[in-house]
A and B are shown apart, each in its own frame.
Chain A
């Protein structure tokens, strides 16, 4: 039920994002979703790609500091208060969200949101109990 995500440390200087995306392009890796958290000095770029292992190898080969983490992809109804309902469920289940970002593609008319939880197992349990659709990794990589 979990999705593999790669995180990359990026110094805040010109050309670094281009370098990351070029490295992935050269390795034939396609980016499925991304988010960038930044400070004045550095940023953490998080990516979901179609070929995680190739992406890791390509980025390490160019000297980037990279880590692999597990996140959860959740289908969210594409209507007012759609996300609010999901967050309400998580809050009720006492699950904390570390961060989240939206997926580019839709899934059967629904939006897809990527979540990083403090306790992914508990989050998945709570969501499934309430009938929320959690996407498999394989499905997300090929969307």
Chain B
């Protein structure tokens, strides 16, 4: 326990991370007003959207006034593809990143030299909070390329002075060899890839003790507390969550400290709001809803009230680590992959938690939603393995019944469990897509 306490004492930027909240709010307002004046004069999209609602930067006199400004959505970014939302001339842009487009074109973001400096420092904040120091060897298994994940963590690690292994994604056997031989102490990847590594270690008979890992910094997709415990046990490390999205900056918007009770959101650079995803109304602090983010220091690609589609809540109560920054809870899903089944909101992560509680049940599952007549049906397909396969039909059916009962009580809506043969579902080394919603085909006509 003393080791953890010592690690918690290390704070990358004490002046801002532990700032009294009244001072923080003053700083936020001042930076917000500067940002609004810049986007209004430099980015036609913002000027048009503000005018449509009859607001001007000068109307924003308090943080509460933020709610009078229009939201920015992924659709706005798509309409201004590729550089329409940039607030500086291209000669000031030193880096371009891009995020996956779920439909159509990707979204493009840019960074000035100063944006890169700020970004590296914010990543250094959460990496320090997770336990990483200059003595660590950081194994970055995010894909290097247009996505922000790998470069964000790479620059943050170098800012701290840690030794970076830019191994990138893929080739699990080689990852394990390098982790063993180079003595990697911090692992950076998606939580689902951490489990892929653990599976492979088990197959090859590599014990967690054979690795030198101390810390795991996982992000890029939602994951459950059960998954955290499983990763910690199977890889022998302390796992923390971090959050970011390229439209806002990349990783480094928020990150957990070793107290593991939510991700400190770097409010001196971003303003967070929680809204009702249906009505857009701003909710009270502490309520669960969609996270909306406004950047207040970015130069090349400022963003105002961006609809992240991530569902979470914020906790302003003080954290034992000493940071005064608000804590963002693990995202419980996305407002756009939130499934409404027979009128009940269901998040895939809820189903994952139930499967994890059943011993031996790895999270190889898929959800299929169909509409039979006017009734929605949810089918949870679970890959069978030796620990959940029984020679007696009675026991096999009892297992299916037990899963169905647990799903019903966790979700509040019935789900049909279907056991399928192993390896019948696609494996992802990055984000996992586990939902097949066949209702949309019907709704579209």
Contacts and interface: CB of A to CB of B under 8 A. Distances in A.
A68 B421 CA distance: 17
B420 A67 contact: no
Nearest to B393: A37
B358 to A, nearest CB: 16
Interface stretch (A39-47, A86-94, A105-113): A39-47
A63 B394 contact: no
Contacts of B419: 9, 11, 41-42
Interface string A39-71: 101101010000000000000000111110100
The 6 closest A-B CB pairs, nearest first, are A7-B391, A37-B393, A69-B391, A11-B421, A65-B389, A9-B384
Interface string A7-40: 1011100001000000000000000000001010
A116 interface: yes
B233 interface: no
Interface centre among A10, A46, A65 (most CB of B within 10 A): A65
B442 to A, nearest CB: 24
B397 A116 contact: no
Contact of B422 (A41, A44, A46, A63): A63
Given A39-B397, A65-B386, A116 B392 contact: yes
7 contacts: A11-B419, A11-B420, A39-B397, A64-B422, A67-B389, A67-B391, A116-B392
B391 A46 contact: yes
B97 interface: no
B62 interface: no
B418 A116 contact: no
A9 B394 contact: no
A97 to B, nearest CB: 11
Contacts of B423: 63
Nearest to B383: A65
Nearest to A8: B389
A124 to B, nearest CB: 18
B385 A99 contact: no
Given A69-B391, A99-B393, 6 more contacts: A9-B384, A9-B419, A10-B421, A64-B422, A65-B422, A99-B392
A65 to B, nearest CB: 5
B30 interface: no
Contact of A65 (B385, B392, B393, B418): B385
Contacts of A37: 393
Contacts of B386: 65-67
B345 interface: no
Nearest to B419: A42
A44 B391 contact: yes
Contacts of A9: 384, 389, 419, 421
Contacts of B394: 98
B100 interface: no
Contacts of A65: 384-386, 389, 421-422
B103 to A, nearest CB: 31
